[in-house]
């Protein structure tokens, strides 16, 4: 597993703690607050608008 994927998985675990779904905007705000690396912020910024369950967000972010 690459470092980016590990960091992304850790971020999503923390972001979705006690949350079923988050919007792309929620994920962007949490990513900025978490001080994620620029490469991961770019991926999260590229998410289409909408709500995502954790597994949906992970799949979408890995495909970007």
Instruction: Domain ranges for the chain, please list them.
Output: 3-63
- pTM greater than 0.75: yes
pLDDT at 32: 97
Mean pLDDT of the 28-49 span? 96
Mean pLDDT of the 14-19 span? 96
Secondary structure in 3-state letters for 2-23: CHHHHHHHHHHHHHCCCCCEEE
Is the pLDDT reported for residue 58 higher than 60? yes
pLDDT band at 1 (very low <50, low <70, confident <90, very high): low
Is the pLDDT reported for residue 64 higher than 90? no
Is the pLDDT reported for residue 31 higher than 90? yes
């Amino acid at each position: 597993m690459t470092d980016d994927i590990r960091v992304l998985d850790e971020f999503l675990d923390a972001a979705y703690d006690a949350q079923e779904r988050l919007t792309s905007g929620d994920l962007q705000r949490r990513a900025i607050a978490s001080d994620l690396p620029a490469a991961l912020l770019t991926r999260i910024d590229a998410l289409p608008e909408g709500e995502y369950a954790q597994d949906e967000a992970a799949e979408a972010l890995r495909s970007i």
